[in-house]
Structures are given as C-alpha cells and as structure tokens.
Amino acid sequence: MLQVNNLVKHFGDIKALDDLSFLAENGQITGILGPNGAGKTTALRVLYGLLEAEEGTGLINGVDSQVSPQLARKEIGIFPDKFGLYERLTAREQISYFAGLHGLKGKEKEQALDDVIEKLDIADIADRRCEGFSQGQRMKVIIAQALVHQPQNLILDEPTRGLDVMSTRILREILLELKQQGKCILFSSHVMQEVAALCDKVIVVANGKVAAVGTPQELCERTGKTEFEDAFVALIGSDEGIAA
Amino acid sequence: MIKTLFTKEFLDSIRDKRSIFAALLGAFLPPIFFAAIMTFTLEESTSVDELYISIENQQQAPHIVALLEQSKILQANMPETGKTFELDGESLEHSKITLTFADDFAQKMEQGQKATITLLADYSKKGSREEISRIKRVVNRYQSQLVTMKLTARGISPSILSPIHIEENDTSSPSSKSALILGMLGVMILVAAFVSSTNVAIDCSAGERERNSLELLIMQPVSTLQVVIAKTMNTAFFGAVGATLSIILTALVIPFIPLHKAGMAFNFDLQLGLTIWLLLLPLALFAAAFQLAVAFHAKSFKEAQSYIQYTIMVPVFLPMVLEIMNYKNAALSYIPIFAQQQAISQLIRGDLESYLPFVGGSIITIIVSFAIIKFTANSLKSEKVVLGL
C-alpha cells in the first residue's frame, strides 16, 4: 500500500506540490495522470524518500519514507523516470546487483534471478552486456530488477515512454498479472488511453494538486463527457501537455 | 551490502577500457618521464666535450700531443674572428687557449733539463679555469709517469716523491641537482596514485549520474555512506594498483639511469619499494575520497574532469615546490599528501630519521579520507547532488 499525505514542495519560487494526497491500494493498479510538469515525478520521488517534502508524509506499507527511507524502500520495486542501465554489465549481473542491494544472497538470489528472467522471457539476452539493448529490452531488464526481490509495491514512472506496441503489451500483461497476485501498482503517465485501459483508479494531478479521483468511468460520468480525454481536459481545465 | 556494491563497481570499472587505459598511463608515464629527464640531465652535466686549443711547436712533444688527444683536447687553429671555426662542415667553438712548446723543448727534455710549456689563456673567461686544469692534468700525468720511469731506471723507489698518501673519502650527500631529481621521483610516484584513479572516480560518480543510474541506486535500500564507501574502495584500488605499477616500473628503470656519472649510488631495493608502497596505500584512499568528493559535486562528466584538473594541482604542484625548495618541517608530516611527499623524499635521499611522524601522518591521512567520505555521503542525500541540479 502506498500513500502520500498533504505533500508540499517548492523548487525555488515554483510550487511543485501543493497539498497533494493520494492512496494506492493492494490488488489495484492506480494511475497518476497529469500533464507534463504536474508534479507526478516529484511526488514519486518524495515517496521513495529521494526528495524531502516541506510538509506531509509518504508512507510505504505504513512506513514513513521520509523518516526511515531504507526500511520503506525494501518494500518497493521502482521503474524510475529516467533509467540508465550499467552498459558494461550483463543483464543478469545488473539484476543480480539490485537483488543483492535488497539483501538477497546465495542460492536464494540465484533462484530469484532465474525466476524473474524466465518470467520476463529475457533468457536470450541475460548474459549479454546491456550496451546495444533496444528500448524494449532495456524496459524488461529494468522491470526485472524492480521485481527480483518480489516487492509488495511497484512504482512505475511513465513506463511506456518510447516503447513500441509489443513491449507496451508485455508490460501491460505483467502489470495485470501482478495485480492478480494482490500487489499494489502505482503508475504515472500522461498517456490517457493507457491509463483508461489499465487502471482501476485514476488520480488526476494538475499544478501539484489532485484535480480528481475515481475510476475512468466515474470521471467521465462526473464531467458529463463520453470520452475520457474530454473528461480529463475538463478536469484540469486545459489541454496543455497531454498526449491522447 | 558493501560487498555487493563493491563487486558491481569493480566489474563496471574493470570493463571500462578508458579507465584501465588512464590508470595504466598514470602508472607508466611518470617513471618513464622521470627516467628520461634524469638521464638527460646527467648526460648533460657529466659528459666530456672536445676541447679545441691551439698547439704551437707540436713536433717538440708528440707524446704529449697524443696524450692530449686521448683526453679529447684537440689542436685547432685559432679562428681569426669570433670564437667558432669550421671542421668537416661543422661549426665548433674554440677555447682560445694556446699551448706553446718552447723551441728547445725536445732537446731540454732529452738532456733532463727543465723544459717550458707556455699556456696562453684568458683566465677570467667563464669556464676557462676548468679547461686549463684539464690541460694541466694531462701534462702533469705525463710528467709524473716520466719521473716514475726515470727514478725506477736509477733504482730509486718512486714513492720517495710522494711520502704521503692521501686517501679520499667523499662524505657529502649527492649534489643538490641530482638530489632534487631523485626527490622528483617521489613526487612522480605520488602523482601516479592520483592520476590512475581519476577516470574511475569520475566515471562512477558524475558519469553514473549522467547515465541516469545514480538516482536509481540511491533509491534502493542502501545508505549513501555504503554507496560512497564502495565507490571509494574501488577508486582507491585503481589508485593503489597504479602506484604499485609505478613503483615497480621505477625500480626497473633506475638501473638504466647513469647515476654513477653524477657519483651517486642509488639502490632502489625491495625494502625501499615496500616502504614507499605502504606509505602510498593511505594516499590512494585519500586520492579516491578527494576525487570522488569533487566529481560528485560537478554537474557533468566534463565538468568533473575540469574540476579535477584544477584540484589535482594541489597534490601535484605543492609537493613539487616543497621538493625544489627542499623544505622540511615537522608539521608537514601530519598533513595528507605532504606526509607522503616528505617521507618518500627523505627515504630516497637516505636521510630519514624517524618513522614515527609518517605512521602518524598515515593515520591522519586515513582519518581525513573517512571524513571526506562522510561528507560526500551526506551530500548525496541532497537532491542537488543526486539529480545534478
């Protein structure tokens, strides 16, 4: 379970987060939808304990990530906003490294590695160095390293950026499967169709505030629009920075 | 946890051709550079050049002329104008010294009477004293041989002429010029500890951030202190390997440097090598911590490179200046970098009095390194450093 309460955060004079609160529950895919610059990544960074909020708390399974970030981070797998692989390591070494950072050792680690490699179907590239991987292959490696320690929560920051249709579909299947297992999935996007198709709950964020919360269906009904896109525009009051 | 972090850092660096190349360059270049300078300087200061003088009445004493030639003192006619004259198309300098054998030189020698040689020279000319004494030495050697032979022929021991035997023992330390160059050797090895680890330091800090993997690493359940310790260990490892190679290479090139020409015997033995190596280990740690701190605070790989270029002047040039001034102060033995410079300098010159200050200096170097590591770890908690804002 992931929760942020009343986050306030400034970058200089700019108010990035303005009393932002939301909740992502287990067994659900929760989407954060917002235009570019709405504060999605900032909110997630606060939740990881990477950034410090001026006010408010970020809770991961009830652990305050601002107070004890290391304990809180054990319970999450992260697919970050910007991701870089270690180009000189093989995919397996890369995943093994993150497994090690989460405290997996010896046989347990090898088993976890084998499982996740099989699950993501990357055995063919597992022993190749990451340099020269395609976007789709990189995405899979990043997902694998986020899942190798089997976290209860998975946070994905704009995961479908730059992915082709096939990779997006694979990602979608993985997310749905994790949902079935009762995991909590939080994922930010500015692509509406993706959010509409996948999410059980949508949190619409604009200008560092929550503009609306509900299922895609509910949001449409609330704004009296038939298309989710129109509903979204109505909710944030502008169509700036959105991709259809 | 640190093992996991270190293993990855090491794997990442050892596969980075640029880092390996830079480390090797840092290790190999200084000793070779040093050997080249040293050889050049020694050849310059000790080689005997041909001395051209005018010799009048050569036929009076062909033996002496031959002896002079053996000592590279050659006959050349005095140029009419200027100092130079042409020989085989080469322009050579004439010493403007004239050696004249008296007209009755051969005759008087034969009769066992005093024969005269006239030496005409401008004694105030720079270097002329040295040239004149070179000529005199040859003539005197001929003279003493002649006397010895004559006395022996008359059944008298030649030792009657020199009842006192002077035994010369040189207790002076090597000439200041050579000592300075030897001291530079120490500085070169110090530099290797820094230069070998520079690329690794930048690659795993500013480079890792530029490749967007630092942020993800910091988001894992590890403390920034663990991350920085692992990175420092890896960087220090490269520095230490560089320094080790540098010491080995120095030991290998020293026999090829013509130190004997300067009257110096310098024995780079195993014990000296090991002592220097032990002194350099804390320095490699310090160099790693220092360079990582600088690189983490730079915005990009490029910026880190230029920052390190400037900050590396401190450990490179200050010891060099101290070395040239031959400045010694007990307090310096307790400051990182200077402690090592002073110790190595004194070890090489062979005038190390006590190891105690350097044990203290090494401990302080390690403590300071950990303080820098702690500082870097704390600054990694700031969003500015992690995101490179």
Give, for A188, the enclosing helix (H) or strand (E).
Answer: strand A184-189
| Domain with A161 in it | 1-75+152-244
- Quick one: average pLDDT of B115-141? 86
Tokens of A115: 């499982």
Residue-wise DSSP of B69-93: HHTTEEE-PPPSSSSEEEETTEEEE
Tokens of B58: 């050569």
Beta bridge partners of B87: B90
Partner residue facing A101 (CB), from B4, B11, B212: B4
Burial class (CB in 10 A: 0-12, 13-18, 19+), B23: buried
What is the pLDDT, as a whole number, of residue B183? 75
Q: How much is the ipTM here?
A: 0.88
Query: Which CATH number covers residue A28?
Result: 3.40.50.300
Tracing tokens 């010694």 back to the chain, one arrives at B328
Does residue B121 have a pLDDT over 90?
no
- Sheet strands side by side (includes B73-75): B73-75, B51-56, B98-101, B117-120
Question: How far are the Cα atoms of A19, A185, A218, A234, B234 from residue A214, in angstroms, in the given order?
Answer: 19, 16, 6, 14, 50
Find the residue in B nearest to A79 (Cα).
Answer: B216
Beta bridge partners of A157: A188
Distance from CA of B314 to the nearest CA of A (A): 33
Q: Which stretches of chain A sit within 8 Å of chain B by CB?
A: 45, 48-52, 69-71, 73-74, 78, 80, 82-89, 93, 97-98, 100-103, 129
Partner residue facing A74 (CB), from B218, B221, B383: B221
End position of a domain, from candidates A151, A170, A195: A151
- Centroid of chain to Cα B373: 33
Lowest mean pLDDT among A94-103, B8-17, B183-192: B183-192
End position of a domain, from candidates A121, A151, A181: A151
Number of domains in chain A: 2
What is the pLDDT, as a whole number, of residue A242? 55
Tokens of A17: 């987060």
Q: Which residues from chain A sit within 8 angstroms of residue B224, using beta carbons?
A: none
A84 contacts B211? CB cut-off 8 A: yes
Task: Summarize pLDDT for B199-218 with one digit per residue, the tens.
Answer: 999 999 999 888 888 888 88
Q: Which residues from chain B sit within 8 angstroms of residue A93, using beta carbons?
A: 8, 11
* A113 lies in the same domain as A219: no
Beta bridge partners of A155: A78, A186
As a whole number of angstroms, the distance between CA A171 and CA A174 comes to: 5
Pairing mode of beta strands A55-60, A184-189: unpaired
Task: Say what percent of chain B tops pLDDT 70.
Answer: 93
B4 contacts A84? CB cut-off 8 A: no
B8 contacts A51? CB cut-off 8 A: no
Task: Summarize pLDDT for B293-308 with one digit per residue, the tens.
Answer: 999 998 888 999 999 8
Q: Are A124 and A147 in contact (CB under 8 A)?
A: no
* A25 lies in the same domain as A119: no
Give, for B369, the enclosing helix (H) or strand (E).
Answer: helix B356-379
Distance from CA of B180 to the nearest CA of A (A): 44
What is the pLDDT, as a whole number, of residue B151? 87
As a whole number of angstroms, the distance between CA A46 and CA A51 comes to: 5
What is the pLDDT, as a whole number, of residue B263? 66
Give, for A203, the enclosing helix (H) or strand (E).
Answer: strand A201-206
Tokens of A191: 């692509």
* A61 lies in the same domain as A112: no
SS3 B123: coil
A93 contacts B218? CB cut-off 8 A: no
Does residue B170 have a pLDDT over 70?
no
* A68 lies in the same domain as A161: yes
> Of B350 and A176, which is predicted with more confidence?
A176
* A7 lies in the same domain as A69: yes
Reported as a pLDDT band with limits 50, 70 and 90, residue B389 is: low
End position of a domain, from candidates A151, A176, A192: A151
Collect the ranges in chain A with pLDDT lower than 50: 244
- For residues B319, B323, B326 and B329, what is the CA-based torsion angle, rounded to 10 degrees? 20
Task: Summarize pLDDT for B58-94 with one digit per residue, the tens.
Answer: 888 888 888 888 888 888 888 877 777 877 777 778 8
What is the pLDDT, as a whole number, of residue A207? 86
* A57 lies in the same domain as A114: no
Domain boundaries, chain B: 2-43+175-387, 48-160
Partner residue facing B213 (CB), from A78, A84, A93: A84
Q: Are A110 and A138 in contact (CB under 8 A)?
A: no
What is the pLDDT, as a whole number, of residue B176? 55
A83 contacts B212? CB cut-off 8 A: yes
> Mean of the per-residue pLDDT values for chain B?
84
Does residue B376 have a pLDDT over 90?
yes
Q: Are B152 and B134 in contact (CB under 8 A)?
A: no
* A12 lies in the same domain as A27: yes
Partner residue facing A78 (CB), from B208, B219, B386: B219
As a whole number of angstroms, the distance between CA B297 and CA B379 comes to: 8
User: If we measure between CA atoms, which residue out of B130, B147, B158 comes closest to residue B48?
Assistant: B130
SS3 A155: strand
* A165 lies in the same domain as A68: yes
Burial class (CB in 10 A: 0-12, 13-18, 19+), B41: middle
* A51 lies in the same domain as A107: no
User: If we measure between CA atoms, which residue out of B198, B188, B379 comes closest to residue B306?
Assistant: B198
